[in-house]
Structures are given as structure tokens and as C-alpha cells.
């Protein structure tokens, strides 16, 4: 008999341990020490009171970790991670947790539920479709070994401590696609000290920018003003980002599959395409 409850009284160490157990056989290898796990939850807007755990004899055996924010003008929940320890799978726990989650969302006035799922994870994909989720976008994830990158700097790149709201409004005009939840401006601002911000200016105007995690090598955003492309600005920014992160693994995840320019740019510079994901949404 499983008990379902929110996660307000569950410590971060217990969550972390259960998370690692649940994802021990996952398609993507998890390198997630406690500090990275905490960072991930904070970045994605985790809220314990709208997250659900499945308990067997008071032991956490499954979870749905959710974040809540305004997204596309609507109060939106985001599935930061759903998992069940292997011994407890195929017992209907995920469906029951999602049922409980939807009740919580109703009480909070959440209008939609967003998530990403690896395309090859057919069992999860079918479950979400059965729950009423629809595919929004096709995402591709890219990775690069720092040692294999050929650094080229054509333009002077400078660092800023953070990007202010006025600049962000301007920089969104550079985008070819809206970043995914975990790469969004809100996610960057949630852990703003974790990132390095590199920019190129022409006549005091920002014409290109990039953001990289100081420790993990994750690049949530890199973009150049459409009027200044094909001049080496993005490559100068990327070179600076790679030089300034501690990580030897550089990752650009959730590139919109329709963005040929971004995919071509990354592949040309030696990035390899890894997993593909679907962004899915459930209107509540």
C-alpha cells in the first residue's frame, strides 16, 4: 500500500538519494552530486508543496518534483524530475502521483503543465500521451569535449556581473527560438551567481551574448543580433565561455529542432548531437 503526500517535510539529502536510485538505470548517465542537485532544483524553480512523493512504509520510493512560474503568460508547473526506484515500477505509481499532482494544481490555479521527455524513453512518452500531454517542440542536445575545441577570438569579449532586465528585453530580439524552461531567463536569474556572462559590443550596443555555468559547462543561452551574424561574433563568445568554465564537458541542451542556424553553428565547431527530447504540455 503506497501513501502519496507532498514533499514539504522531506530533506534534500533524502530527495537526492532517492533521485539517484530512481535514475541509476537512466538512458543518460547522471553526474549529480548533492550540490548539483540543489542547484538544479533552485534553477528550475522547485516548489515542495506542489511536488508529490510515493511512500512505502514511510520510505520515499517515487517522486514528481515540480517547479511553478509564469510561462508564456500563464501560471505553469514544470516537471523537474519524475522517477521511481526500480523495484517499485509497473505498479501504477506514476499515474497515481500525476493524479495527486493535478489536484494540487487545481487548488493553486495552475493553468498548464510542462515537461521534457527523452524521445527514446517510449514508456514515459506513452504514459504522458495517455495523460493528455501534447508534443510542443522537438529538442536536440549537444556536447563538446573542451580539449577538442579550436579557440578563435575575432572580437573583444567582456564580462558583466549579470544581465539587467532592460538588456534582457533587448537580447530576446536576438533569439531564433524561445529557450526551454531550464534555459529561460527566470532559470538563469534563479541562480545568477552560478553563471559567467560574456558579451560583445559595437559602439556601446550589445550585439552578441552568451551564458555558461562556471562549474558544469552548461550553456543555457548564446545569441547574436541578426544584423551582425556570420562575422565570428558567436565563435568569439563561445571561445570565451569555454575558456572560463571549470568543466571539460560543454553542453548545449534543448536546441529547437527547427533552428538550423544554431544546429549548424554547433556542429561546425565540433559539438556532437546526443539525446533528443520532446517538450510536452498539458492544458489544465
Ordered by start, the domain boundaries in the chain are 3-110, 142-276
What is the rounded distance in angstroms from the CA atom of residue 204 to the CA atom of residue 193?
Answer: 24
Cα separation values, 168 from 92, 127, 187, 275, Å: 43, 37, 13, 29
Q: Which residue has the cell 492544458?
A: 283
Nearest residue to 18 via CA among 45, 54, 47: 54
> φ, ψ for residue 86 (rounded to 5)?
-50, -40
The pairing of strands 74-84 and 112-118 is parallel
Identical fold, 3-110 and 142-276: yes
Query: Residue 112 forms beta bridges with which residues?
Result: 76, 283
Predicted pLDDT of residue 110: 97
Cα separation values, 188 from 132, 142, 208, Å: 30, 19, 17
Predicted pLDDT of residue 1: 84
> φ, ψ for residue 180 (rounded to 5)?
-65, 170
- Give SS3 for 176: coil
Q: Which residue has the cell 572580437?
A: 155
Cell of 233: 561574433
Fold of domain 142-276:
Aminopeptidase (3.40.630)
Q: Which residue has the cell 565540433?
A: 270
Element containing residue 202 per DSSP (H, E): strand 195-202
Query: Would you tell me how many other CB atoms lie within 10 Å of the CB of residue 117?
Result: 21
* pTM of this structure: 0.94
Give, as one character, the DSSP assignment of residue 89. -
Q: With the CA atoms of 173, 175, 180 and 186 taken in that order, what torsion angle do they form, in degrees rounded to the nearest 10?
A: -40
Predicted pLDDT of residue 28: 64
Question: Which of the listed CATH numbers 3.40.630.30, 3.30.230.20, 3.30.310.80, 3.40.50.300 matches domain 3-110?
Answer: 3.40.630.30
> For 84-99, b where at least 16 C-beta lie within 10 A, e where not — what string?
bbeeeeeeebbeebbe
Give, for all 284 residues of the chain, the pLDDT tens digit.
899 999 999 999 999 999 999 988 866 667 789 999 999 999 999 999 999 999 999 999 999 999 999 999 999 999 999 999 999 999 999 999 999 999 999 999 999 999 999 999 999 999 999 999 999 999 999 999 999 999 999 999 999 999 999 999 999 999 999 999 999 999 999 999 999 999 999 999 999 999 999 999 999 999 999 999 999 999 999 999 999 999 999 999 999 999 999 999 999 999 999 999 999 999 99
> φ, ψ for residue 140 (rounded to 5)?
-125, 145
> φ, ψ for residue 117 (rounded to 5)?
-140, 140
Predicted pLDDT of residue 30: 73
Cell of 208: 552578441
Helical H segments across the chain, by residue range:
12-22, 34-43, 93-108, 122-130, 165-171, 185-190, 233-244, 260-268
Give, as one character, the DSSP assignment of residue 95. H
Q: If you count them, how many residues does the chain have?
A: 284
Amino acid at each position: 500500500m503506497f501513501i502519496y503526500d507532498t514533499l514539504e517535510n522531506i530533506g534534500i539529502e533524502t530527495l537526492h538519494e532517492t533521485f539517484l536510485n530512481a535514475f541509476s538505470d537512466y538512458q543518460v548517465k547522471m553526474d549529480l552530486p548533492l550540490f548539483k542537485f540543489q542547484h538544479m532544483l533552485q534553477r528550475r524553480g522547485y516548489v515542495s508543496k506542489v511536488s508529490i512523493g510515493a511512500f512505502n512504509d514511510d520510505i520515499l520510493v517515487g517522486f514528481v518534483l515540480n517547479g511553478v512560474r509564469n510561462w508564456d503568460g500563464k501560471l505553469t508547473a514544470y516537471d523537474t524530475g519524475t522517477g521511481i526506484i526500480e523495484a517499485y515500477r509497473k505498479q501504477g505509481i506514476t499515474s497515481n502521483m500525476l493524479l495527486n499532482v493535478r489536484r494540487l494544481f487545481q487548488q493553486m490555479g495552475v493553468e498548464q503543465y510542462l515537461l521534457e521527455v527523452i524521445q527514446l524513453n517510449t514508456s514515459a512518452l506513452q504514459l504522458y500521451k495517455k495523460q493528455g500531454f501534447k508534443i510542443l517542440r522537438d529538442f536536440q542536445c549537444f556536447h563538446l569535449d573542451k580539449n577538442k575545441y579550436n579557440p578563435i577570438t575575432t572580437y573583444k569579449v567582456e564580462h558583466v556581473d549579470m544581465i539587467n532586465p532592460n538588456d534582457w528585453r533587448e537580447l530576446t530580439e536576438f533569439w531564433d527560438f524561445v529557450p526551454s524552461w531550464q534555459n529561460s531567463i527566470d532559470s538563469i536569474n534563479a541562480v545568477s551567481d552560478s553563471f559567467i556572462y560574456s558579451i560583445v559590443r559595437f559602439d556601446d550596443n550589445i550585439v552578441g551574448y552568451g551564458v555558461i555555468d562556471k562549474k558544469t559547462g552548461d550553456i543555457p543561452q548564446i545569441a547574436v543580433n541578426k544584423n551582425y551574424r556570420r562575422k565570428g561574433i558567436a565563435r568569439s563568445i563561445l571561445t570565451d565561455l569555454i575558456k572560463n568554465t571549470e568543466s571539460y564537458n560543454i553542453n548545449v541542451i534543448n536546441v529547437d529542432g527547427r533552428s538550423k542556424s544554431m544546429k549548424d553553428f554547433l556542429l561546425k565547431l565540433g559539438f556532437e548531437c546526443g539525446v533528443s527530447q520532446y517538450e510536452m504540455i498539458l492544458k489544465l
